[in-house]
Structure 1
Amino acid sequence: MKELYLVKKDNKVKPENSAKEFVISQKRERESDLKDLILPHLYELSQYPVEHIYSFGIDKKKSKYKIKYLTDISDILKSTDKGAIAMTEMAISSALDNNCTGIVIAHNHPCEFIHPSEEDLSLTEYLDSLCKENGLILYDHFIVSKAHGIKKYYSFYELKLLRKEDV
């Protein structure tokens, strides 16, 4: 697998497999299993020249994560002026239909700017509230980009912009 780089809050880019600056708790260690499942798909997503959005249906049992489905929901976003709302509703209904415990959303920024836009922040907040209303967890929202050949990702959860609560 190609290497992805995590963008930290201070804009420094660090290889994801480099030594961590902090002690990882047992809970965080288990959660990294989810990221390990998602990262190969993020690499693929970073290759698109136009924006694409993936929705992952996640099932968690006994601290083990499983991707139950992966859907490219980009067309929904483009098909209507209320695309973001339709996209979030589809992500929620697919997760419920597949008996998932939660979802992960990931999209690329073809413009190479990795940080979330105001729309990204609003969408994440809205999706998180919808998940809670429906007994689901928004495990993470990833943004990926490829700038100057370096593949990077931004994780709302890792940067503490999103908190998971067990349902």
Structure 2
Amino acid sequence: MIQKQLSIRNWAEDDRPREKMILKGKSVLSDAELIAILIGTGSGDKSAVDLGRELLSLSDGCLYEFGKLRLSQLCEVKGIGRSKAISILAALELGRRRKELRADKKPKIDSVQKAYEELKGYFTDLTHEEFYILYLNNSNEILQVKQLSIGGITGTFVDPKIIFKHGIDLSACGIILAHNHPSGILIPSDQDKRLTKRIQQFGMLIEMNVIDHLIITDNGYFSFADQNLL
């Protein structure tokens, strides 16, 4: 006779995700167990850990790809309603925001790689294009990273006047442009090149230097400056 699966409350104490974290620390928990803590309860004859495993199967067990899932995709798992799915998305967003935080000292951009490291977190998991501006002072220290626009899969609208108005408000001396290619292709389009040239010309008029334009994907970056396109 097949026995009904035991609920988590009937598991040994050191096998229950919450108790396991208290007894052994958070690092020993599996991804499914961490998700189980977020969603709180199971559904029917499935424990919260079972649901955690099913959720991870949506991304073939890859936590990195799991972070890209949308609300509707999470809700495809039976037993995961909007409330549980939102709890998961909120936790993932907190993780992303934590990665973006820096110490009190303003980071200094002294290389293309450093600019990429500062900007890449803003584009993690995006399935659409977004455009950001990194504003720098005269010591190449970051004043602000600002989202300029959100677009679709193949493009986003950018207004140079808005870029430089905000730069003047910050007393910025230089800017680095950045946008992503959801396609993963690290090649600038003709439109990318025209836009970069136009923004560069605006910057020359008010003596605010366009230092670089980065195209960012999950696999790396393309630098206009490195390729002598500025």
Give the TM-score normalised by the residue count of structure 2: 0.48
Matches within 5 A, 1:11-90: 31-32=110-111, 35-61=113-139, 65-75=140-150, 83-84=157-158, 86=159, 88-90=160-162
Q: Secondary structure at the match of 1:160?
A: coil
Cα deviation, residue 37, structure 1: 4.5
Runs of 4+ in structure 1 over 6 Å off: none
1:25 alignment partner in structure 2:
none
How big is the shift at 1:158? 1.0
- Bigger radius of gyration, 1 or 2? 2
Cα offset, 1:44, TM superposition: 3.5
Taking the aligned partners of 2:208 and 2:198, their CA distance within structure 1 comes to: 13
Cα deviation digits, residues 52-87 of structure 1 (max 9, x gap): 1111111123xxx21101111114x68xxx933x2x
User: Percent same amino acid at aligned positions?
Assistant: 22
RMSD over aligned Cα atoms: 2.2
Where structure 1 has 5 or more consecutive residues not aligned to the other structure, the ranges are 1-29, 163-167
SS of 1:60 mapped into structure 2: coil
Secondary structure at the counterpart of residue 133 of structure 1: helix
How is 1:64-143 mapped onto 2 (pairs within 5 angstroms)?
A: 65-75=140-150, 83-84=157-158, 86=159, 88-143=160-215
Structure (1 or 2) with the greater helix fraction: 2
Look up the SS of the partner of 2:226 in the other structure: coil
Shift of 1:45: 1.5
Equivalent residues, number: 119
AA partner of residue 40 (structure 1): E
Is 2:211 the partner of 1:159?
no
| 2:178–2:213 Cα contact (<8 Å) kept | yes
Give the strand-richer structure, 1 or 2: 1
Q: Deviations over 1:112-134 (max 9, x none)?
A: 11100011000000000000011
Whole-Å Cα distance in 2 between the matches of residues 127 and 93 of structure 1?
12
Unmatched runs of 5 consecutive residues or more in structure 2:
1-108
SS of corresponding position for 2:171: coil
2:186–2:215 contact (8 Å) kept in structure 1: yes
Query: Contact 1:91 / 1:103 at 8 angstroms: preserved in 2?
Result: no
In the superposition, relative to structure 1, how do residues 38 and 68 fare at CA in structure 2: closer, same or farther (>3 Å)?
farther
Do 2:137 and 2:174's aligned partners in 1 also have CA atoms closer than 8 Å?
yes
- Quick one: distance in 2 between partners of 1:110 and 1:37? 19
Secondary structure of the residue aligned to 2:164 is: helix
Separation (CA, whole Å) in 1 of partners of 2:142 and 2:123: 16
User: For the Cα contact (< 8 Å) 1:58–1:101, is it kept in 2?
Assistant: yes
Deviations 1:18-66, CA, capped at 9 Å, x for gaps: xxxxxxxxxxxx842x6414423224314311101111111123xxx21
CA distance in structure 1 between the partners assigned to 2:163 and 2:227 by the alignment: 23
